[in-house]
Amino acid sequence: MKSLLKSGVLVLSLLLAIGLILPSGATAEKVIKIGAIYPLTGGAAAAGRELRAGVELAVELANSAVANVDMSMAKNAGITSMGGAKIEIIFKDHEGNPTLGADLAKKLILDDKVDGLLGCYHSSVTKTVSAVAEQYGVPMINGSSTSPALTTRGFKWFWRTTPHDVWFTRDLFEFMNGLTEGKVKGVAAVPKKDIMTLAAACEKTEWGSFVSEVIEQFSKEYGYDLKKSMLYAKEAPDLSSEVRSLKASRADVMLFASYTSDAILMIKTLKAQKAQPKIVWGQDAGFEVPEFRATLGDSVVGILTRTVFLPQVVQVKKVAGQVNALYKAKTGNDLTGASARSFTGLQTWVHVLEKAGSTEPAAIQKAANDLNIPGNELVVPWAGIKFSTTGDEIGQNTLGSGLIGQYQKAADGQIVLEIVYPFDVASADMIYPFPKY
């Protein structure tokens, strides 16, 4: 009897010990901390919401096994090479302010001890944040800043997945040449003299001012006449003198690089001033966020925007459709250039970590430099992700590509973006010329 009691106590205490040890053993799994710095408030807050949702969805797919998504990240739960380690994102809000961004990066590195950084949308902020990352030797992946200069600084800890504005702007001029050659779906060849004169208005931080330079460069190279090129402050509460100046140039083609609130204001003012260009083109960003079409409604019909993702991609790319369905269930919106690229940014982090098998900065650096993600893993219509390690550009993805979309009114009255470039994947006839206000 006594021995029975004794063994009973022994069993009980054993069970208790196991009970105490096991849960702590189960949580001992490593957590990888990544700091994500985005404009969650301020003029680009609408884009910030998209960026954040894209990252969050990618983290869900990375941390748990999700059925029916044909990408390796979704099939694994956590980082398998690190014993199923989970990714934790610490979001910070830079409000579009480069100085604040740099401070936040320091905080993330020194206080939160993050293993890597992700961000920052505005090229101006990415510039300062990546300088902090470089100084501390912390790896940073950038998914959506397109100023060409970011990857010409020879940084060792900075990698960019998105193509940059030199590619996108070349796309625009290729598109215009295609228009004169009758390559655009649904439009007969347009005489070059009809679209000969251009005018550009770009916001004046890092991103817009580089776009402005690139436009100037390409209009010379492709033989167009850039009548007017101006920079404006993205916080400007009023753009009527800018728009009147654009109108005064009597340009056939109007080109913009704008963030959210200024893009909306610009189009509103163009409409109020009854400007009559033949082509209106926006360099993504503000021209693509859902707020742009939600706010302006029918006034956006006919506007072109460059992007890297359009819902129409779903028709040619199965995995994009699968992720888009999950994103739509989560947010109510389709993926956009912003959310698809922030998703891809985090996905790149997952692949880098998987390859590195460690959070040691040196291991991550080597893994990123050797990375090669095939195109079929991605939601964006790129050939893949592979970073340049030599030459003028360091850390730039060499396999990216862009699209040009046009806002059109679908049969059900919805305003959708149709693909007009590249010509071989065009999803609808282009509206040309731009409808008169």
| φ and ψ at residue 395, rounded to 5 degrees | 85, 15
CB of 80 to other proteins, least distance (A): 41
CB of 375 to other proteins, least distance (A): 37
CB of 243 to other proteins, least distance (A): 10
Q: Please pick, from the candidates 72, 229, 365, 398, the single residue that binds other proteins as defined by CB under 8 A.
A: 229
Structure tokens given for 29: 């799994």
CA atoms within 13 A on the CB side of 152: 7
Cβ contact 98:92 at 8 Å: no
Look at phi and psi of residue 280 and say left if phi exceeds 0, alpha if psi is from -120 to 50, else beta: beta
Stretch of 40-48, 139-147, 179-187, 378-386 lying at the interface with other proteins (CB under 8 A): 40-48
Q: Please pick, from the candidates 62, 71, 76, 95, the single residue that binds other proteins as defined by CB under 8 A.
A: 95
277 binds other proteins (CB under 8 A): no
217 binds other proteins (CB under 8 A): no
272 binds other proteins (CB under 8 A): yes
Determine how many CB atoms are found less than 10 A away from the CB of residue 305.
Answer: 25
Q: Please pick, from the candidates 245, 276, 333, 358, the single residue that binds other proteins as defined by CB under 8 A.
A: 245
230 binds other proteins (CB under 8 A): yes
Q: Which of 289, 292, 232 is nearest to 267 (CA)?
A: 292
Q: Which of 229, 198, 199 is nearest to 213 (CA)?
A: 229
Stretch of 20-28, 50-58, 102-110, 232-240 lying at the interface with other proteins (CB under 8 A): 232-240
The Cα 236–Cα 239 span in angstroms is 7
248 binds other proteins (CB under 8 A): yes
The Cα 313–Cα 184 span in angstroms is 18
Question: Could you please report the per-residue DSSP string of 272-294?
Answer: HTT---SEEEE-SGGGTSHHHHH
Q: Please pick, from the candidates 128, 261, 342, 427, the single residue that binds other proteins as defined by CB under 8 A.
A: 261
98 binds other proteins (CB under 8 A): no
CB of 139 to other proteins, least distance (A): 30
249 binds other proteins (CB under 8 A): yes
Look at phi and psi of residue 186 and say left if phi exceeds 0, alpha if psi is from -120 to 50, else beta: left
The Cα 240–Cα 234 span in angstroms is 13
Residues 136-165 that bind other proteins (CB under 8 A): none
268 binds other proteins (CB under 8 A): yes
237 binds other proteins (CB under 8 A): yes
The Cα 212–Cα 235 span in angstroms is 18
| φ and ψ at residue 274, rounded to 5 degrees | 50, 45
Q: Please pick, from the candidates 35, 37, 38, 43, the single residue that binds other proteins as defined by CB under 8 A.
A: 43
Contacts with other proteins, residue ranges (CB under 8 A): 41-43, 45, 95, 204, 227-233, 235, 237-238, 240-242, 244-245, 248-250, 261, 264-265, 268, 271-274, 295-296
